[in-house]
Amino acid sequence: MLWSLAKAALLGPHQAMLGEFDYIIVGAGAAGCVLANRLTENGRHRVLLMEAGGSDRRFFIHMPMGYGKTFYDPSINWMYKAEADAGLAGQEDFWPRGKVVGGSSSINAMVYVRGDASDFDDWRSAGNVGWGWDDVLPAFKAMEHNEAGTNEWRGHGGPLFISANNTQRHWTGKAFLEASIAAGLSHNRDLNGATQEGVGHFQLTVQNGRRNSASRAFLRPALKRKNLAVLLNAHATQVVFDDRRAVGVEYLQDGVLKRAHAKAEVIVATGAINTPQLLQLSGIGDGAHLQSLGIKTLHENRHVGRNLKDHQGINYTYRLNVPTLNQVLRPWWGKLRVGLQYLLFQSGPLSISMNQAGGFFRTNPARTRPNMQLYYQAFSTLIPRANERPILSPDPFPGMSIGLSNCRPTSVGEIIANSPNPLVHPRIIANAFSTDHDMQEMLEAVKFIRKIAAQKPLANLIEEELRPGPAVQDDTDLVADIRQRSGTVYHPCCTARMGPDAKHGVVDAQFRVHGIDGLRVIDASAFPSIVSGNLNAASMMIGWRGAEMVLKGN
Ligand SMILES: Cc1cc2nc3c(=O)[nH]c(=O)nc-3n(C[C@H](O)[C@H](O)[C@H](O)COP(=O)(O)OP(=O)(O)OC[C@H]3O[C@@H](n4cnc5c(N)ncnc54)[C@H](O)[C@@H]3O)c2cc1C
């Protein structure tokens, strides 16, 4: 009710029209930036890219280790909180999302993993024609310029530079890799290659010591095109319809409610949390829920906001007997040294991701594909700091962490608009570890972390396990620790998932919203199911393929 009154006041004499565009892309995130580039490439279409956040020209976005700062910066981050979750011992998990040009690709940890080939075959098996591994591999290759060169798996010559992560790494990462191999894993030189299984160095979206966000790789080169307009600090409040055809977007900018008109299509790319909220506010969703908010149902689809998938992760943290990045990043003289090194040469520990090594493994040999991802971090952050993820001020003692996250959890959550007011955050119900499957595989996985830590040469460097600590041994205590200390690894998806019809999903295999004309959803919310590993690559890939579908008009 309050929102409808406020809306009338905001509309009043101020309502303004921006002019006409062929396409409006809502959300300048990982997928949105790729779409903006490709839809303007041939010069034939006028495109408006609308973003709720502002410019990404900020030092801590571009310096890779600035990740610790952007993580809690409300000026570029939606700073969501999930609801208290029984699966996480009642905790309200923090869910950062980028609210800035580049979206979450501007604040993410820069690990570049496409996903397991079988994940995409699962997409196709779910009835989504054209989405198997054979279909998506050419798109991954076309958009990439892999520093390691080209082969059957890697792309070369595309707009997205991928670092092979061969320099600047901390030496203890090698001990982690050797210990993992001693624990039974294979060495994998290309985690985006023939197989995902094994351990190695992550490829990174970093170029010349700077974050290579979707904004930098795709949007910036397109900005000079006259047929692209970018609107910043413009919060889309709803899609505007003429009958059942999307014809524009209503948005709030500087406290004024305005409208932009799309002659051809509106493309929603606002990410896995905001996209279902925007659809619900626009009258697309579960009718009973919409009615409870006083929103008129334009199109009933119970999948909107449902099917939320996400990866859950946990860190095991160790005190070492040799210096780690803690001794470099914590003292003021260390900060001065690496700060100067970064400013003068764009090199050193500030110039790469905190996740330098890792890989994928099966918690149980009976499984046909890896079900866990590993991360090695040559620092530890047990001592919290207000408003900061304390990567740039880690613990005072030498420490490191081995992290892991699940690949294809079976728990399902939900995103529900909480109010008709678009500025009110939606409810995030994660339902983490709500299936026995998810807890059982995590239990097997944390035991395997200890197996790695017990192998030489890593074991020789470890003084003690700090978290969870040696007192936590039996399954009951390990499970309690998992619930207490796990959390999202920031990969929500599937909340407007692709499915062959409205009974199975929100969009079809060309991202068109079932039952509505002129409206597509192209972002991580459209994933039919979660992929194994980090989601940025797959989000950009669907932006890449989505643009082709839009241009073909199918
Ligand atoms: C802290 C963190 C670490 C991560 N680490 C990694 C990693 O190392 N590797 C990896 O591959 N992935 C990582 N990810 C995940 C990855 O970045 C995301 O999955 C990916 O960016 C999702 O792309 P998207 O296009 O769906 O959404 P986003 O990139 O989030 O883009 C959505 C955009 O829409 C805008 N928007 C939202 N609502 C509105 C509105 N109403 N009006 C206008 N604009 C709006 C947002 O501000 C944002 O710019 C991480 C994510 C986070 C948050």
> How far does Cα 396 stand from its chain's mean position?
30
**Ligand 1 geometric centre to CA of 104 (Å):** 3
What is residue 454's predicted lDDT score, i.e. its pLDDT? 98
- For residue 539, give the ligand 1 atom closest to its CA: 23
Ligand 1: residue of 48, 100, 104, 375 to mutate (most ligand atoms within 8 A of CB) is 104
What is residue 3's predicted lDDT score, i.e. its pLDDT? 63
What is residue 9's predicted lDDT score, i.e. its pLDDT? 62
Q: Residue 382, exposed/middle/buried by CB under 10 A (0-12, 13-18, 19+)?
A: middle
Catalytic residue check, 261: no
- For residue 110, give the ligand 1 atom closest to its CA: 8
**Ligand 1 geometric centre to CA of 298 (Å):** 27
pLDDT band at 11 (very low <50, low <70, confident <90, very high): low
Ligand 1: residue of 270, 498, 511, 532 to mutate (most ligand atoms within 8 A of CB) is 270
Domain at 64-98+161-211+309-488, CATH class = alpha beta
> Is residue 13 pLDDT above 60, yes or no?
no
Domain ranges of the chain: 2-56+215-305+494-552, 64-98+161-211+309-488
pLDDT digits (tens, 9 = 90+) for 422-466: 999 999 999 999 999 999 999 999 999 999 999 999 999 999 999
> Which residue's alpha carbon is nearest to atom 50 within ligand 1?
108
pLDDT digits (tens, 9 = 90+) for 537-547: 999 999 999 99
Does ligand 1 lie within 6 Å of residue 279's CB atom?
no
Pairing of β 144-146 and β 160-162: parallel
Does ligand 1 lie within 6 Å of residue 27's CB atom?
yes
Q: CA-CA distance, 217 to 428, in Å (whole number)?
A: 31
Does ligand 1 lie within 6 Å of residue 489's CB atom?
no
Amino acid at 384: P
pLDDT band at 12 (very low <50, low <70, confident <90, very high): very low
Cβ–Cβ < 8 Å for 407, 116: yes
pLDDT digits (tens, 9 = 90+) for 269-293: 999 999 999 999 999 999 999 999 9
pLDDT digits (tens, 9 = 90+) for 360-407: 999 999 999 999 999 999 999 998 777 778 888 899 999 999 999 999
The set of residues, in sequence order, having a beta carbon less than 8 Å from that of 17 and lying 6+ positions away, is: 258, 259, 260, 261
Residue 53 token pair: 């956040």
2-56+215-305+494-552 is a CATH 3.50.50.60 domain:
yes
Q: CA-CA distance, 33 to 53, in Å (whole number)?
A: 13
Q: CA-CA distance, 258 to 231, in Å (whole number)?
A: 12
- Nearest Cα neighbor of 419 from 297, 277, 257 is 277
- Nearest Cα neighbor of 245 from 222, 262, 233, 230 is 262
- For 459, how many CA atoms within 13 A lie in the half-sphere containing its CB? 12
- Nearest Cα neighbor of 391 from 467, 449, 337, 328 is 328
The yes-or-no answer to whether 2-56+215-305+494-552 and 64-98+161-211+309-488 have a common fold is: no
- Nearest Cα neighbor of 311 from 493, 541, 49, 56 is 493
What is residue 306's predicted lDDT score, i.e. its pLDDT? 97
> Which residue's alpha carbon is nearest to atom 46 within ligand 1?
99
| Mean confidence (pLDDT) of the chain | 96
> How far does Cα 309 stand from its chain's mean position?
12
- For residue 95, give the ligand 1 atom closest to its CA: 53
Does ligand 1 lie within 6 Å of residue 96's CB atom?
yes
What is residue 33's predicted lDDT score, i.e. its pLDDT? 98
**Ligand 1 geometric centre to CA of 440 (Å):** 29
pTM over cut 0.95: yes
pLDDT band at 14 (very low <50, low <70, confident <90, very high): very low
The set of residues, in sequence order, having a beta carbon less than 8 Å from that of 422 and lying 6+ positions away, is: 3, 235, 236, 237, 238, 252, 277, 278, 281
